[in-house]
């Protein structure tokens, strides 16, 4: 039986978080090529999830969607956020298709229901059917319905975490634009040190050190990510890497030693 591998393309790696709805096309193309070549070499089943970056977070924040929607104006913002995420998803799928990977976009809004921003229902069958036929499902952080808040944001990290409990991937690699989890934000603190491994022993310090991304992140930035990943590491090997560094994604997927943060909680 084939092994299953999950990859997350962080919004920081594939979009310019400081410019509204702007993709980093060259980066995305290179990352897709690296993942495609590792899949070709190892023949694993692959699930891709990507984040929102400047496509999802800016619009969601502008319309105050972090705590749901009530007004007509917020409903338009909800729809606009989804539209932008679908646009980014199409770009991601296109790049995989160009490299021979049969990628199919799977919008979570149709499959997921939340209660106070946490997934309570996820129809995973479309993902399982795609995998059974060797397609590559490409999910993403999306706006979804929420029984308490009307609507809410479901992060790509929460999608990964939930799916991992169902599909039990052998390996989960999350690519972002820094080398992993640091003692402080490496973009603003030169003294920040990479934490190579998160275990039960250092987890409280790690959570205390995380400040969250400085950009428009409505799903908790790096702290939100790590909180999701703690659950995730019970399902398989979890590694955070810098997808902006050429070769890191390929090497990580080929099982080589790479710079990054391993989560073993």
DSSP code of residue 116: T
Among 81, 89, 152, 171, binds ligand IP8 (CB under 6 A): 81
Compose the 39-58 pattern: x for residues touching ligand IP8 by CB under 6 A, - for all others: ------------xx---xx-
Among 27, 157, 179, 228, binds ligand IP8 (CB under 6 A): 157
Among 9, 28, 36, 85, binds ligand IP8 (CB under 6 A): 85
Q: Collapse the DSSP code of 229 into the 3-class scheme (helix H, G, I; strand E, B; otherwise coil) and give the result.
A: helix
Q: Which residue is nearest to ligand ATP (CB)?
A: 51
Taking CA 16 as the corner, what is the angle to CA 12 and CA 20, rounded to the nearest 5 degrees?
Answer: 120
Residues recorded for the chain: 265
CB of 10 to ligand ATP, least distance (A): 2
Span near ligand IP8 by CB under 6 A; candidates 119-127, 136-144, 194-202, 252-260? 136-144
* Nearer Cβ to ligand ATP (125/191): 191
H/E element, 92: helix 72-98
User: Token digits for 8?
Assistant: 């997350």
Span near ligand IP8 by CB under 6 A; candidates 89-97, 107-115, 139-147, 202-210? 139-147
Binding site for ligand ATP (CB under 6 A): 10-13, 51-53, 156, 176-178, 181-182, 184-187, 209-211, 213, 217, 221-222, 225
CB of 73 to ligand IP8, least distance (A): 17
Q: Which residue is nearest to ligand IP8 (CB)?
A: 141
Q: Does 34 bind ligand IP8 (CB under 6 A)?
A: no
Q: Does 103 bind ligand IP8 (CB under 6 A)?
A: no
Q: Are 232 and 159 a contacting pair, CB within 8 Å?
A: no
Query: Which whole-number Å values give the CA distances from 133 to 3, 57, 227, in the listed order?
Result: 14, 33, 33
- Looking only at the bridges linking them, the beta strands covering 112-115 and 118-122 are antiparallel
CB of 190 to ligand IP8, least distance (A): 26
Taking the C-alpha atoms of residue 152 and residue 142, their distance in angstroms, rounded to an integer, is 9
Nearest Cα residue to 4 out of 243, 265, 235, 256 = 235
Q: Does 105 bind ligand IP8 (CB under 6 A)?
A: no
Among 153, 213, 222, 253, binds ligand IP8 (CB under 6 A): 153
User: Token digits for 162?
Assistant: 């939930």
How much of the chain is helix, strand and coil, in % rounded to 5?
A: 40, 25, 35
Beta bridge partners of 116: none
DSSP code of residue 199: E
Task: Name which of residues 162 to 221 contact ligand IP8 (CB under 6 A).
Answer: 218-219
* Nearer Cβ to ligand ATP (20/42): 20
Q: Does 23 bind ligand IP8 (CB under 6 A)?
A: no
Kindly calculate the radius of gyration of the chain based on its CA atoms and give it in whole angstroms: 17
* Nearer Cβ to ligand IP8 (232/251): 232
Taking CA 252 as the corner, what is the angle to CA 246 and CA 253, rounded to the nearest 5 degrees?
Answer: 110
């Amino acid at each position: 039986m084939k092994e299953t591998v999950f990859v997350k393309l962080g919004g920081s790696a594939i979009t310019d978080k400081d410019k509204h709805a702007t993709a980093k096309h060259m980066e995305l193309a290179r990352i897709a090529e690296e993942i495609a070549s590792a899949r070709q070499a190892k023949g694993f089943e692959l699930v891709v999830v990507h984040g929102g970056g400047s496509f999802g977070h800016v619009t969601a924040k502008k319309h105050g969607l972090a705590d749901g929607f009530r007004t007509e104006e917020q409903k338009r913002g909800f729809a606009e956020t989804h539209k932008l995420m679908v646009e980014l998803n199409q770009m991601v799928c296109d790049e995989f298709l160009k490299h021979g990977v049969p990628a199919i976009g799977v919008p979570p809004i149709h499959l997921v229901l939340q209660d106070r921003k946490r997934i309570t229902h996820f129809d995973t069958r479309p993902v399982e059917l795609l995998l059974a036929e060797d397609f590559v499902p490409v999910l993403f952080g999306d706006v979804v319905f929420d029984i308490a808040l009307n609507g809410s944001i479901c992060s790509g990290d929460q999608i990964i975490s939930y799916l991992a409990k169902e599909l039990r991937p052998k390996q989960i690699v999350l690519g972002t634009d820094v080398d992993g989890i640091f003692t402080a934000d490496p973009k603003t603190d030169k003294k920040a040190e990479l934490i190579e491994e998160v275990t039960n022993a250092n987890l409280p310090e790690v959570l205390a050190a995380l400040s969250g991304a400085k950009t428009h992140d409505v799903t908790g930035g790096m702290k939100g990510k790590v909180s999701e990943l703690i659950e995730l590491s019970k399902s398989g090997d979890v590694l955070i890497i810098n997808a902006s560094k050429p070769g890191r994604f390929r090497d990580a997927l080929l099982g080589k030693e790479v710079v990054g943060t391993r989560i073993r909680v």
